[in-house]
Every structure is written in structure tokens, then in C-alpha cells.
Amino acid sequence: MTIGLITCSFGRQYIVHAEGSDYQTVSRAKKTEYVVGDEVELQIINAEQAQIMSLLPRRNLLYRSDQNRSKMIASNLDLIVIVIAVKPNFNVNFLNSCLVAAEASGIDPVIVINKTDLPESNDFANRIITLYQEKLGYQIVSLSATTDCSNLLPYLSGKRSLLIGQSGVGKSTITNQIYPQANTRVGEIAKYENSGCHTTTNATLYKIDHHSELIDCPGLQEFGLFHIELSEAAEYFPEMRPLLGQCKFNNCQHLDEPKCIITDAVKHSRIEEQRYIFYKNLCLRLKTKKNY
Ligand SMILES: Nc1nc2c(ncn2[C@@H]2O[C@H](COP(=O)(O)OP(=O)(O)O)[C@@H](O)[C@H]2O)c(=O)[nH]1
Ligand SMILES: [Mg+2]
Ligand SMILES: [Zn+2]
């Protein structure tokens, strides 16, 4: 039996890399079973084709979900590179959702502020750095992908990294800068999305050197967090974590309970209101789950 790595998926078809070759495989299951980053046991059929026999245990799995369904994004990751830019339409909820998803799956995030060449990027970058790096402690890299991505490289070295971000922020441009052979179509996916005919999201894994891999993942406009447990949500906010356990009620959800250290910290601006509102909205959505 050969062990391979899933590097690309479309529908129920997967490209699996094993022993220096790429194989096409099809899964018989109705539901999508595998995701980019999965390690699988393979039965090789011929030089181009193989059959997936089983899945090796995942060390982590990033996925998103809403009321109706959840979707796996990638597995066995070392780093989530969250790309943001002042244009087009920066959405702070998307950034917060990505960070919570990273925290919940136990994968380190790094925030890339792209398009620093745009004049309006300066104020934007300063605001992001003040809150997310200085207050919350997240790693941030600022760059202009159309010019140079070299300051991101040290973060990627020796890791399997996933690029995520709203469409148009420059993920494909970054991929092409770092790995020109990828030749990812810049600006293409957004066009498809707007026309509504491109509904599947295909992540693709590129080996950028012997021990580093980069996964480009187009088409994420929102990042549902329906899989999060309400009772654990606060732990995924680094500004809340050190305060947990100090509220009057030990099952405090930090919404409207009396003597809550979190809402108190918000009142005294020790916790950013914008982040707390995001937390509160997340909890209200999670409360609509059946088991609460
Ligand atoms: N000004 C500027 N534009 C950029 C930069 N990086 C990417 N873009 C442009 O942003 C658009 C979307 O880029 P793309 O890589 O396709 O974004 P994706 O949807 O995240 O993959 C393209 O027109 C790029 O040329 C940058 O650093 N500065
Ligand atoms: Mg793209
Ligand atoms: Zn509380």
C-alpha cells in the first residue's frame, strides 16, 4: 500500500501525490469524504490512476458551517494565512471568523495585510496592527503582493500553510509570487463567483520547497462558525481568555449576566467593543442550535 497526499479536489475527484507522481482518483462515496491535506492509503492502478483505500488520522481539520451544512476546507495544517486588504470591501467579521476558526481548530494564524501600495492602506494597516497585533497578540505581515512577498516566506518555511481571505484580496497573486509554477488565474475566480455559476471551492496544494507547502483556496466569502460550542466560544478570543473563570456565575456566557468580568472589561474599554459585539452575535447565532 502506498501513502499519498491529497493536493487538489473537484467534486468527488481528487489528485493524490505519492512517491513523486500525481494520480487521479475518484471516491465512490456520495458525500465528500476527503479534503486537501489528507493523507490516504492508495492502491495504484496505473501511471495516472489510483484508488483511495482509506484515510489516515487527521491531526487537525479546518471547516466552516452554517445551519444547514458544513464544508471541510483543508486538513493537517501548520498555519492559516489570513489575507486582508483595504480593497475590495474589507469585512472585519470575516477576519474575526477566520481567527476564531483558527483558534477552534488549534492552528496558528498569521494575518497578511496586502496591497500596502494603495494610499488608503496606511490608515487601515495601522488600525489593524493596533488591535490585532498590539492588543490581541496575533502575528501580522504587511506586504504588496504585486511587488514582493519575501517577508512572508519565513512564516511559511517548513510548514503546510493555507491562504484564506475574501475574494479579490490577492491570494492568487501571493501564490504566484511565491510559487510561479502555480500560475493561478489572478482575478478570475471573483468573476465566476459574481456570475453565480461557480459554486464549488477547490483548494490546491503547491509544494513550494522540499518541506513547505502552500494551499490556495479560492472563493470564501463567509466563514460560518456553526460548529463552535457556545460554552467554548469565549476561549477563542485571546482578550477574554485570561479573564475566564472570574465571573460571578461559573457558566457565565458573558451576555447579560450580572457581575460579569467580560462585559465589565468591555465597559471599561479593556476589551474592544467591536470584538465583543462579534462575540455576542456569534453566541446568539449558536443559541439557535437545537441542543441549547
Ligand atoms: N494594488 C494592488 N493590487 C493587488 C495586489 N495584490 C493583488 N492585487 C490585485 O487584486 C486583484 C485580485 O487579486 P487575486 O490574486 O486574484 O485575489 P484572490 O481573489 O484573493 O485570489 C487583482 O487585480 C490583483 O492584481 C497588491 O499588492 N496591490
Ligand atoms: Mg484567487
Ligand atoms: Zn461573564
Q: Consecutive sets of 10 residues in the chain, 292 residues long: mean pLDDT of each?
A: 91 89 82 88 93 94 82 94 95 95 95 97 98 97 96 97 93 90 64 40 84 85 83 96 96 96 97 97 88 51
Best residue among 95, 183, 186 to mutate for probing ligand 1's pocket (most ligand atoms within 8 Å of CB) is 186
| Helix (H) / strand (E) containing 129 | none
Using CA positions, which residue lies closest to atom 12 of ligand 1? Answer: 168
Question: What pLDDT is stored for residue 193 in this prediction?
Answer: 42
Joined together, the cell numbers standing for residue 147 give 511587488
What are 161's three cell numbers? Answer: 500553510
The confidence score (pLDDT) of residue 164 equals 93
What domains are there in the chain, each with its CATH number?
Answer: 2-55 (2.40.50.140), 61-216 (3.40.50.300), 230-286 (1.10.40.50)
Ligand 1 shell residues, CB under 6 Å: 114-115, 117-118, 144-146, 165, 167-173, 186-187, 189-190, 218
pLDDT at 30: 65
Rounded distance between C-alpha atoms, residue 235 and residue 255, angstroms: 15
Atom of ligand 1 nearest to the CA of 190: 19
CA angle (167 as vertex; 161, 172 as ends), nearest 5: 50
Query: Do the Cβ atoms of 249 and 257 come closer than 8 Å?
Result: yes
Q: Which residue has the cell 489572478?
A: 186
Residues in the chain: 292
Which residues are found with C-beta within 5 Å of the ion, ligand 3?
247, 252, 254, 260, 262
Residue 149 and residue 181: Cα distance in Å, rounded? 16
Q: Relative to the CA of 189, which ligand 1 atom is closest?
A: 19
Task: Give the separation between CA 238 and CA 133, rounded to whole angstroms.
Answer: 11
Nearest Cα residue to atom 7 of ligand 1: 170
Cα(129)–Cα(114) distance, integer angstroms: 13
Task: Quote the CA–CA distance of 1 and 40 in Å, as a whole number.
Answer: 10
